[in-house]
Amino acid sequence: MSTDKHDRAFFRVQGGVPLGGVIRPQGNKNEALPVLAACCLTDQPMHLENVPNIEDVSAMADLLEELGASITRSKHGTGTTLSIKPKSIACGDIPPGMAQRLRGSVTLAGPLLARTGKVVLPRPGGDRIGRRRLDTHMLALRALGASVSDEGSHFTITADQLKGADILLDEASVTATENALCAAVCARGETTIRNAASEPHVQGLCRMLTAMGAKIEGIGSNILCIQGVDRLGGATHRIGPDYLEVGSFAALAALTGGDLLIEDADLPNMRMIRMVFERLGIHSEPEGTGLRVRAGQSLEIANDLGGAIPIIDDAPWPGFPADMTSVALVTATQGKGTIIIHEKMFESRLFFVDRLIGMGARIVLCDPHRAVVIGPEKLQGRTMSSPDIRAGMALLIASLCAEGESEIQNIHQIDRGFSKVDERLRALGAQIERLE
């Protein structure tokens, strides 16, 4: 499907219908991209299961094939099994046009550097949610012995032999941690990564690297210890459920008034999201390995002790995920009470609130990082455009709980992160059409 056709596609949504039934989350998008990149570390076959059928994954797979890998795809539902033969990868020159298709292209830097000794890394594309610095990536690679040259449109990164080091990351960046990991597993000697990110997708990458023969200690913590090995072998790895999609579906059920069971809900990694949702008046309960959101949620915002206005803010894992703030904000528009949403990481992520205000929400955008939400206020359908993946899902949730008809344009942004979302929501009773 061409980009032009993607740009023309839009969703027509009829709101006000309770959504319920059973749904299963796709594989974790934020895990899929770095594990695909990490396949470059070996010349042996790799098998990835439960890979989400989304545009960003397709773009990364295309990029690997351009670099010389052979990939066989077997699709089933929202997931795909990818059989990857990376033996022919010999060059670390990442095509600029392909890198611009997704932010995740940056995760190729560490694996390709370890594999080929030289990477030409174009500045990556992705969501327009504010500045996304690459300084931490380069700090880590330099610490391992790489030479980094900033050429403006791209970075040239070289290393004859990576050497283990004691690295303190200046921020707990997920993708910088992943790049440092992939470079360190084949470096000579021992590496310690301090202030490492520990999100579930970072843990998933660690487990795959371990299955390939890497020696990693401290998985799930903020200090990773890696003993470099001479070579890595092939492995089979299953990508975990997308806990961000689980949270999105839980909010969707609560705001539309439906009864929903989310199967395979990755309950251990849902604790903080469920805790924050409780403050927004959404109660959920485990049901086997699934999560049940029942109809008739209170949607009453819980004040802090002493009646103070509560704040929801994002933080590195195990804090509330930054990628859930857009959904939390939409949820707050339907809750009784006042709350502050504080998005600390990206200065443009909250700018989508003008669409919600146009739907009737009472929101004061204090600055690029903070919004005061006063609810509940019934939303009205309208025509709007999706600016990025997470805001796109938030606007879709808002449209499904609004009165009347909405049109969401630029749904290419939603397709980048959510597989067949319109088909899956129709199975829950949503009145949604994909049109051109």
Task: Give the sheet arrangement for strand 235-238, strand by strand.
Answer: 70-76, 79-85, 46-52, 235-238
Choice between 99 and 15, residue whose per-residue pLDDT is larger: 15
**Residue-level pLDDT at 340:** 98
> Do strands 235-238 and 46-52 pair parallel, antiparallel, or not at all (unpaired)?
parallel
Q: With cut-offs at 50, 70 and 90, classify the pLDDT of residue 2.
A: very low
pLDDT on residue 1:
37
Let me know: does 128 contact 348? Beta carbons within 8 Å: yes
pTM of the predicted model, to two decimals? 0.93
Q: What is the mean pLDDT of residues 183-210?
A: 98
pLDDT average, residue stretch 125-134: 57
Of 50-59, 64-73, 100-109, 200-209, least confident by mean pLDDT is 100-109
Q: Percentage of the chain surpassing pLDDT 90?
A: 87
* Mean pLDDT (whole number) for 157-185: 96
The pLDDT, as a whole number, for residue 102 is 81
Residue 4 confidence (pLDDT) above 70: no
Share of the chain above pLDDT 70, in %: 97
pLDDT at 132: 60
User: Do the beta carbons of residue 187 and residue 164 sit within 8 Å?
Assistant: yes
In the prediction, which pLDDT does 124 show? Answer: 76
Whether pLDDT at 3 is above 70: no
Q: What is the pLDDT of residues 375-421, one digit of tens each?
A: 999 999 999 999 989 999 999 999 999 999 999 999 999 999 999 99
Q: Which neighbouring-strand residues pair with 408?
A: 11, 384
pLDDT of residue 98: 83
Mean pLDDT of the chain: 93
**Which residues make beta-bridge pairs with 409?**
10, 385
| Better pLDDT: 346 or 154 | 154
Q: What is the reported pLDDT for 6?
A: 54
Q: Are 282 and 253 in contact (CB under 8 A)?
A: no
Q: Which pLDDT does position 164 carry in this prediction?
A: 97
| Alpha-carbon gap, residue 297 to 258, rounded angstroms | 9
The dihedrals phi and psi of 364, each to the nearest 5 degrees, come to -110, 115
pLDDT at 127: 46
**pLDDT tens profile 11-66:** 999 999 999 999 999 999 999 999 999 999 999 999 999 999 999 999 999 999 99
Under the banding of pLDDT at 50, 70 and 90, the label for residue 129 is: very low
Q: Which domains does the chain have, with CATH numbers?
A: 3-25+241-435 (3.65.10.10), 29-238 (3.65.10.10)
Q: Decide if pLDDT at 336 tops 80.
A: yes
Task: List the catalytic residue out of 127, 242, 388, 415.
Answer: 127
> Quick one: pLDDT band at residue 100, thresholds 50, 70, 90?
confident
pLDDT tops 80 at residue 371: yes
Average pLDDT score over residue span 303-316? 96
3-state secondary structure the chain: CCHHHHHHCEEEEECCCCCCEEECCCECHHHHHHHHHHHHHCCCCEEEEEEECCHHHHHHHHHHHHHCCEEEEEEECCEEEEEEECCCCCCCECCHHHHCCCHHHHHHHHHHHHHHCEEEEECCCCCCCCCCCCHHHHHHHHHCCCEEEECCCEEEEECCCCECCEEECCCCCHHHHHHHHHHHCCCECEEEEECCCCCHHHHHHHHHHHHCCCEEECCCCCEEEEECCCCCCCEEEECCECHHHHHHHHHHHHHHCCCEEECCCCHHHHHHHHHHHHHCCCCCEEECCEEEECCCCCCECCCCHHHCCCEEECCCCCCCCHHHHHHHHHHHHCCEEEEEEECCCCCCHHHHHHHHHHCCCEEEEEECCEEEEEECCCCECCEEECCCHHHHHHHHHHHHHCECEEEEECCHHHHCCCCCHHHHHHCCCCEEEEEC
Would residue 388 show up in a list of annotated catalytic residues for this protein? no
Structure token pair of residue 314: 């994002």
